[in-house]
């Protein structure tokens, strides 16, 4: 008799609206292992997501959906870096889906901390962002292949990582990364990561996104990683690679500081 392994399931839906001068919670639905906490009910509503399963394994399924109404402003971050453990033989990849909707005149930030992959991990992750014309969005997705300070190396893994962005209903970005098998060897290739083991993508959508490119490049210049920045169709993209998670975080923080006008990152980023 075969035994079915227990898998974590979670869904979280949060919507934010404007009331007077404040951005406030409009709707909250929590199911399974995903929860949200709201430490700072100020002009920008800040929400921190929690995964009570204690990490992500093959076959887990986690779904987030966030909505920001006209005039509202909200920041979502994660309690900590998320760990993705070795998948068992025959397991499906962990399935993560994040949907973000920003209305005209709304502003949203998606600022999770790093996804840390262990040797043998399997992850299928999609971030889908829909920004109305005149909306504002800043987000980051980061992946660290093993904790180098602990001597870890990710030799084999599966990663399918997709970012899709629509502005005014028009698709402006479909960014898909797929690594399968001998990841350590793949990351050595110059056209992949040139030996880096930590990567991140910054996305910024705003009417003036192209005007921010010089400032973001200047902010990333001199950080401990390698970065490139480009802009088109009301969107700015930053690509970052680094040789460990700490260096990647330093680069991401510098880029976000430029895009966010110097506003302090959520306090969980300092833990």
Buried b (16+ CB within 10 A) or exposed e, 222-258: ebebbbebebeebbbbbbbbbbbbebbbbbbebbbeb
* In the chain, % of residues over pLDDT 70: 97
25-54 mean pLDDT: 92
| Token pair belonging to 129 | 């962002």
Cα dihedral across residues 126, 77, 214, 200: positive or negative: negative
pLDDT in tens, 213-258: 999 999 999 999 999 999 999 999 999 999 999 999 999 999 999 9
Strands 170-182 and 156-167, how do they pair? antiparallel
CB atoms within 10 A of CB 103: 20
Residue 1 has pLDDT above 50, yes or no: no
- Identify the bridge partners of residue 102 per DSSP, sorted by sequence position: 68, 131
pLDDT in tens, 71-103: 999 999 999 999 999 999 889 999 999 999 999
Residue 141 has pLDDT above 80, yes or no: yes
**Mean pLDDT score across all residues of the chain:** 94
Residue 63 has pLDDT above 90, yes or no: yes
CB 94 within 8 A of CB 124: yes
Measured CA to CA, the distance from residue 40 to residue 49 in angstroms comes to 13
| Token pair belonging to 173 | 């970005």
Residue 121 has pLDDT above 80, yes or no: yes
pLDDT in tens, 149-204: 778 889 999 999 999 999 999 999 999 999 999 999 999 999 999 999 999 999 99
* Per-residue pLDDT, 42: 64
Measured CA to CA, the distance from residue 244 to residue 271 in angstroms comes to 18
CB 111 within 8 A of CB 266: yes
- Identify the bridge partners of residue 107 per DSSP, sorted by sequence position: 73, 136
pTM: 0.95
According to the 3-state scheme, what is the secondary structure of the chain? CCCCCCCCEEEEEEEEEEECCEEEEEEEEEEECEEEEEEEECCCEEEEEEECCCCECCCCEEEEEEEECCCCEEEEEECCCEEECECCCCCCCEEEEEEEEECCCCEEEEECCCEEECCCEEEEEEEEEEECCCCEEEEEEEEEECCHHHCCCCCEEEEEEEEEEEECCEEEEEEEEEEEEEHHHHHHCCCCCCCCCEEEEEEEECCCHHHHHHHHHHHHCCCCCEEEEEEECCEEEEEEEECCHHHHHHHHHHHHHHHCCCCCCCHHHHC
CB 68 within 8 A of CB 110: no
Contacts of 54 (CB under 8 A, 6+ apart): none
Residue 265 has pLDDT above 60, yes or no: yes
Strands 198-205 and 235-242, how do they pair? antiparallel
24-40 mean pLDDT: 94
């Amino acid at each position: 008799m075969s035994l079915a392994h227990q898998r974590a399931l979670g869904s979280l839906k949060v919507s934010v609206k404007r009331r007077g001068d404040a951005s406030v919670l409009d709707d909250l639905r929590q199911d399974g292992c995903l929860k949200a906490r709201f430490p700072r009910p100020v002009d920008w509503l800040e929400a921190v997501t929690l995964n009570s399963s204690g990490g992500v394994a093959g076959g887990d399924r986690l779904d987030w959906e966030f909505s920001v109404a006209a005039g509202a402003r909200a920041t979502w971050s994660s309690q900590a870096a998320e760990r993705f453990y070795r998948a068992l033989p025959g397991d499906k990849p962990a399935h993560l889906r994040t949907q973000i909707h920003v209305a005209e005149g709304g502003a949203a930030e998606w600022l999770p901390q790093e996804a840390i992959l262990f040797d043998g991990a399997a992850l299928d992750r999609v971030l889908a962002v829909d920004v109305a014309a005149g909306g504002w969005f800043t987000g980051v997705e980061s992946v660290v292949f093993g904790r180098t300070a602990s001597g870890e190396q990710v030799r084999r893994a599966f990663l399918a990582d997709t970012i899709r962005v629509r502005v005014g209903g028009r698709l402006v970005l479909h960014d898909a990364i797929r690594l399968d098998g001998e990841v350590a060897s793949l990351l050595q290739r110059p056209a992949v990561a040139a030996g880096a083991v930590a990567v991140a993508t910054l996305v910024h959508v705003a009417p003036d996104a192209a005007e921010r490119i010089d400032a973001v490049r200047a902010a990333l210049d001199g950080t401990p990683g390698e970065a490139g920045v480009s802009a088109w169709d009301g969107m700015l993209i930053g690509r970052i690679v680094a040789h460990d998670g700490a260096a990647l975080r330093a680069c991401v923080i510098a880029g976000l500081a430029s895009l966010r006008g110097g506003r302090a990152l959520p306090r969980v980023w300092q833990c």
